[in-house]
Amino acid sequence: MVIGAGYAGLTAATRAGRRDRVTLIAPETRFLHRVRQHETAAGHPEHRPAVDQLLRGRRVTHLRARVTELDLLGRKLMTDSGQAIGYDTLVYALGSRTAWHGIPGAAEHAYPAERAAELRQRLSEAPRPGTLAVVGGGATGIELAAELAEAYPEWQVRLVTADEVGGWFSAAGRAQVLRVLERLGVRLYEHTRVTAVGPDGLHTAQGTVEADVVAWAASMEPHALAAEAGLTVAPDGRAVVDAYLRSVSHPDVYVIGDAAAVTLPRVGTLRMGCATAQPMGRYLGRVLSGRTSAPFTFRYQVQCLSLGRRDGLVQLVHGDDSMRPMVFTGAVGRLVKAGIVRLVVAILR
Ligand SMILES: Cc1cc2nc3c(=O)[nH]c(=O)nc-3n(C[C@H](O)[C@H](O)[C@H](O)COP(=O)(O)OP(=O)(O)OC[C@H]3O[C@@H](n4cnc5c(N)ncnc54)[C@H](O)[C@@H]3O)c2cc1C
C-alpha cells in the first residue's frame, strides 16, 4: 500500500504496480504537480494530468481518501471516510506543506502555494492594483515573486526574506536572480524577519512592510502523521530512514519523498524537493518489484529556477549540492527548467 500520490508516491506505485497489486491512497483526482503552483497563481493554464490516466495499465487501485490515523503495530490505517484498511507493506509518501513557523496572522492573512488558485482570483479580481508581498527568499519565493511580477506588472511586488534572496547560489547564479527580479520591478527586503502578518501587511523587526496581498513561501514542513504514528523523526519532523529508505524505528515501513530524512555518505541529508522525491520513488518501485536489493544512491546535478516565462536559471552543482561556478541563464535556463518539469510528469509512469 502506498499513501500519498505526489512525485514520490505515484512514481513508486506505477513501478510496483507493473507486477504486483498496489493500493494507492490520496485525495486528489488530478496530479498535484506542486512545482507548477506558482504558475497557477500567475494565471497560466494548469497542466495536471488525471491520476487515473497516469495509472492506466498498472495494477494499482486508487482510493480517493485522506489517511487520518496509522496503526503501525496492527498494520492498518484509518481514512477520513471512516474505513479501516489493513496492509502488508506500507510506503509512506505524504509529502509536505507550507510551514507557517507559528507566525501570528500568517495562516489567516497570507496565501500559501496550496491556495494558488485563490491568490490568482484575488489578484485578477482586485478593483485596482496595489502592493503584493511575497515572504521567503528561497527557490519557491523567488519563482513566485518573478512569476507574479511578470503576470501582474501593475502591482508593486515585494520579496521579503530573513536572509539573502538566493544567497546559496554561486555568484553568477545569484547575480542572475537579482538581475531578473530588478528587471521585473520586484523590490527586495533582505535580512527582514517577519514577526506577524495583519490585514495591513507584514510586521517585521525593522518596521511594517505594507501589503494589500501577502503570498507565503517561507519553507515547507512534513506531514505530522509520521510523528503522531510513532515513527522516529528528525528535529524537522521528517521520518529517519536507513540506506534502503526503511524507517529506522519501523523497518517494515518505507518512507519516501519530503516525508523522509535521508542521509547519504558524501552527499549529506537530502533536502526536500521534487528533485529528491522522484528518485526515491523510482528506487522504491524497483525494490518493490524485486528489481534491486541495493541501497538507495543519489547525487545532485543541477538546481533550476523559472524566473517568469522568459527567463530562468540552471545552476550546476556538485553531487553534494554545493555550488559549481557555472550557470545557464536567460532563454536557455528557462527552456531547461521547462523541459525538466515536463520530464518529471513523463517519469511518473
Ligand atoms: C511552488 C513550488 C515550486 C516548487 N519547485 C520545485 C522545484 O523546482 N524543484 C524541486 O525539487 N522542488 C520544488 N518544489 C518542492 C516539491 O514540490 C516538493 O518537494 C515535492 O512535491 C515533494 O514530493 P512528495 O511526493 O514527497 O510529496 P507531495 O508532492 O507533497 O505529495 C504528497 C501527496 O500526499 C497526499 N497526502 C497528503 N496528506 C495526505 C493524507 N492525510 N492522506 C492521503 N494522502 C495525503 C497529497 O495529496 C499528495 O498526493 C516546489 C514546491 C512548490 C510549492
SS3 call for 4: coil
> What's the number of CA atoms in the CB half-sphere (13 Å) around residue 224?
5
Q: Ligand 1: which residue has its CA nearest to atom 18?
A: 273
Q: Ligand 1: which residue has its CA nearest to atom 20?
A: 274
Determine the distance separating the centroid of ligand 1 and the alpha carbon of 207, expressed in angstroms: 33
Neighbours of 321 (CB within 10 A): 18
State the closest ligand 1 atom to the C-alpha of 337, by its place in the atom list counted from 1: 8
> What was the pLDDT predicted at 50?
97
Q: What is the CATH number of the domain that holds 132?
A: 3.50.50.100
> What was the pLDDT predicted at 82?
95
Residues within a 6 A CB radius of ligand 1: 3-9, 25-28, 32, 34-35, 37-38, 66-67, 93-96, 113, 140, 143, 223, 257-259, 272-275, 277
> What was the pLDDT predicted at 78?
98
Cell 506505485, located at residue:
13
> What was the pLDDT predicted at 187?
98
Determine the distance separating the centroid of ligand 1 and the alpha carbon of 130, expressed in angstroms: 31
Question: Are residues 306 and 208 both part of a single domain?
Answer: yes
* All cell numbers assigned to 285: 518501485
> What was the pLDDT predicted at 301?
97
Name the stretches of the chain with pLDDT < 70. Answer: none
Q: Is residue 329 assigned to a domain?
A: yes
Counting ligand 1 atoms within 8 A of each CB, the residue from 90, 94, 168, 314 with the most, and so the one to mutate, is: 94
State the closest ligand 1 atom to the C-alpha of 79, by its place in the atom list counted from 1: 42
b/e per residue 210-231 (b: at least 16 CB within 10 A): ebbbbbbbbbbbbbebbeebeb
147: left (phi over 0), alpha (psi -120 to 50) or beta: alpha
Percentage of the chain lying above the pLDDT 90 cut = 98
Question: Are residues 121 and 196 both part of a single domain?
Answer: yes
Question: Are residues 90 and 116 both part of a single domain?
Answer: no
b/e per residue 271-291 (b: at least 16 CB within 10 A): ebbbbbbbbbbbbbbbbbbee
Q: Is residue 260 assigned to a domain?
A: yes
Neighbours of 302 (CB within 10 A): 17
d(CA 200, CA 133): 11
Q: Looking at the 3D structure of the chain, how many domains does it have?
A: 2
> What was the pLDDT predicted at 112?
98
Residues of the domain holding 128: 106-218+301-347
SS3 call for 103: coil
Counting ligand 1 atoms within 8 A of each CB, the residue from 79, 274, 336, 340 with the most, and so the one to mutate, is: 274
